[in-house]
Structure 1
């Protein structure tokens, strides 16, 4: 075998070994950055910021969240329970006009209880509950973080008594998006409920008035602009 052929074989073997090493390193990476970015949306950017711009550290953090909470299956709400949660949220919105701080505190409690009822870690375990919610409702979980911060103070929200009325109003509006996701029944929940009650899949006029074509519950916009709340 000539020297040239030997050198060529050595180069090929070295190239193959290098490719194998690169592939092995890539396989060790928790998940692709793009995949995590799509799944977590703004939560991805927040995780990167928390890790001082270290994307790999942020991705390891987010991947661990998925491992801990990704298999969680949300429990459906009974219609009566859903109506109670919706009535309580509406009452909190009404209360905001005269008592914004009490309304924000009630919204925070309500989201915690509702998340617990849907199968997330129980109310009172805020950090764990927030982490689990970020895996399944990443694009709206920041609303919970904001309203909790407005109610209790902390790094994720403006501090307690220093929170302005406008900041509390915005926190309530952000939190409502998560509330809607948690309280609105999925198509699977609807099918299960109809089967349990022996009803057909046909929708009623009342059903159609509450959902849009994409299956999302619709509500009149809430602006909290009726009058300035006291103590603002």
Structure 2
């Protein structure tokens, strides 16, 4: 076999290997995009490179696989549903306290499902593997909750926080799945009488929550 033929065969072999590697990488990337949804773009965008971001997502998958997650019993689901109804009732007279209660309730639910709840960022990373579609709701709710604690959130902000919390809450509970194409989706809006809310925040123009069904 002539040296030229050998070189050609080597080049062909390298091209085949490169094609296989590219195909595997592309398939893996598609799988990550499908699993993490908008979280894929966020993590990759925050990383120094696409490879580094994808490595982080694969690490999340590995950690998630080691968690002992569990489904809730029908009794537990019923208790959480009742607890959420009470949060929405509490919102009428005490919006800030209701948001704080909602935060605690969501954290409790996360714990009962088997997720660690120590560090907030780690909590987000763990949740992103199976609940990426509602993760941004959780981020927004958490941010408003912190502003509320600092006295920087008005009633409409607090109402939106409750809507955001409900998105992840419903996702984790597995009951009444909520749409995630808009935080102000009417189907996700807490039922709160407009008049009473305005009594607590008369300075907020146009902040009337919609009275819609849960």
Tell me the TM-score range normalised by the shorter chain.
0.7 to 0.9
Partner of 1:92: 87
State the distance in 1 between where 2:166 and 2:139 align: 12
CA contact (8 A) 1:143 1:172 kept: no
Q: 2:41 aligned to 38, 45, 53, which one?
A: 45
Give the helix-richer structure, 1 or 2: 2
State the distance in 2 between where 1:149 and 1:55 align: 27
Pairing 1:109–2:99 present:
no
Which whole-Å deviations, capped at 9, do the CAs of 1:117-140 have from their partners, x for residues lacking one?
Answer: 11111x444332222111111111
Q: 2:5 aligned to 5, 8, 16, which one?
A: 8
Partner SS, residue 161 of structure 1: coil
CA contact (8 A) 1:36 1:62 kept: yes
Partner SS, residue 78 of structure 2: helix
Partner SS, residue 32 of structure 2: helix
Q: 2:124 aligned to 123, 126, 130, which one?
A: 130
- Structure 2 unaligned spans of 5+: 178-186, 205-214
Shift in CA distance, 42/167, structure 1 to aligned 2, threshold 3 Å? farther
Deviation at 1:56, TM superposition (A): 2.2
- Structure 1 unaligned spans of 5+: 186-209, 212-219
Q: How many residues align?
A: 190
Deviation at 1:116, TM superposition (A): 0.5
Pairing 1:119–2:114 present:
yes
Which whole-Å deviations, capped at 9, do the CAs of 1:195-219 have from their partners, x for residues lacking one?
Answer: xxxxxxxxxxxxxxx89xxxxxxxx
Partner SS, residue 75 of structure 1: coil
Deviation at 1:26, TM superposition (A): 6.9
State the distance in 2 between where 1:168 and 1:31 align: 42
TM-score by length of 1: 0.68
Deviation at 1:88, TM superposition (A): 1.8
